[in-house]
Amino acid sequence: MADDFISIASNGLSASIHPLGAELWSFKDADGRELMTDADPRWWTGHAPLLFPFVGRSRNDAYRFEGREYPMPQHGFARREKFAVAERSADAVTFRLEADAETRAAYPFDFRLDMRFLVEGRTLRMTATVANRGGTDMPFSFGYHPAFAWPLPYGGTAEEHRVLFEKAEPAPIRKVGDEPGLIALESAPSPVEGKILAPTHAMFEGDALIWNRLESRSLFWGVPGRTGLRIDFPDTPWLGLWQKPGAPYLCVEPWAGMADPVGFTGDVWEKQGIMRLAPGGERRFRMDVGIAG
């Protein structure tokens, strides 16, 4: 399997991506220190799945479109599909997934998803481009799901790590409800003090923390005053943070879309966060991860 990886590098970092799901598996600094999860199966074997064509879980793992019900696994199917390599150079690679008979059985739309990875200095730039190549409007959502090391390899304890938001985040957040993977109807108080979140493993005993009234489009992950990660996500209005409680990673997940709320029975166009892409249209979602400090 290792031979399948495609690696790109600059003078400041390197990254390795697997064509299965176009999933980022490794992100290392110039000294070879790993900044992502080790994917220990005791916790979670994922690294950074792409969430498409839907983010989160559809109720009963299915959605409805034009009076018909279609199966849809949690976070969509892109993470389980092998992408083709469309372009490749020493510092960049673009992966491509296009609709086929298998995807149309679950998602009857003629889509193309391009996922580009580019390293510039000490920053990894990721851009997903969703295109509608069919003749009808296409419903979709998209999200990132990378798991970064907790603690990072720059000194300081796990307890000293912070999420430092770009802006104050006083709004209530959402959590997972009684139906597995679905969003509770009630909100919860923000755990952010001003711009600062001090995460604990106990915070995630009820699954993800979800910001659907997010002010920030950038954050810092690490120990304040030490080297850490600057994460920018200008095109995604929502954010999830998640881990298996006690695991040595934190997933920082910019989303344009969200799981169904508890009890949802509506059509796909009523799903929260669903975007409408016209025939011939494209929509891009960027996420930059840079070594800061």
The span from the CA of 57 to the CA of 169, in Å, is 25
pLDDT for res 3: 60
**Under 8 Å between Cβ of 85 and 4:** no
- Domains delineated in the chain: 2-292 (2.70.98.10)
**Under 8 Å between Cβ of 263 and 179:** yes
Interior/surface letters 69-101, b for 16+ CB within 10 angstroms, e for the rest: eeebeebbbbbebebeeeeeeeeebbbbbebee
Beta strand 282-292 with 228-232 is: antiparallel
Interior/surface letters 126-135, b for 16+ CB within 10 angstroms, e for the rest: bbbbbbbebe
Residue type, 155: G
The span from the CA of 140 to the CA of 129, in Å, is 12
Using CA atoms, how far residue 82 sits from 11, 19, 203, 276, in Å, is 29, 6, 34, 25
pLDDT for res 33: 98
pLDDT for res 104: 97
Q: Is the peptide bond before 146 cis (omega within 30 degrees of 0)?
A: no
pLDDT for res 89: 97
pLDDT for res 1: 46
**Under 8 Å between Cβ of 224 and 198:** no
Using CA atoms, how far residue 225 sits from 17, 28, 34, 198, 220, in Å, is 30, 20, 20, 15, 11
Would you give per-residue pLDDT tens digits along the chain (293 residues)? 446 899 999 999 999 999 999 999 999 999 999 999 999 999 999 999 999 999 999 999 999 999 999 999 999 999 999 999 999 999 999 999 999 999 999 999 999 999 999 999 999 999 999 999 999 999 999 999 999 999 999 999 999 999 999 999 999 999 999 999 999 999 999 999 999 999 999 999 999 999 999 999 999 999 999 999 999 999 999 999 999 999 999 999 999 999 999 999 999 999 999 999 999 999 999 999 999 98
Nearest CA to 104 out of 127, 85, 81 is that of: 81
pLDDT for res 130: 98
Interior/surface letters 155-189, b for 16+ CB within 10 angstroms, e for the rest: ebeeeebbbbbbeebeeebbebbebebbbbeeeee
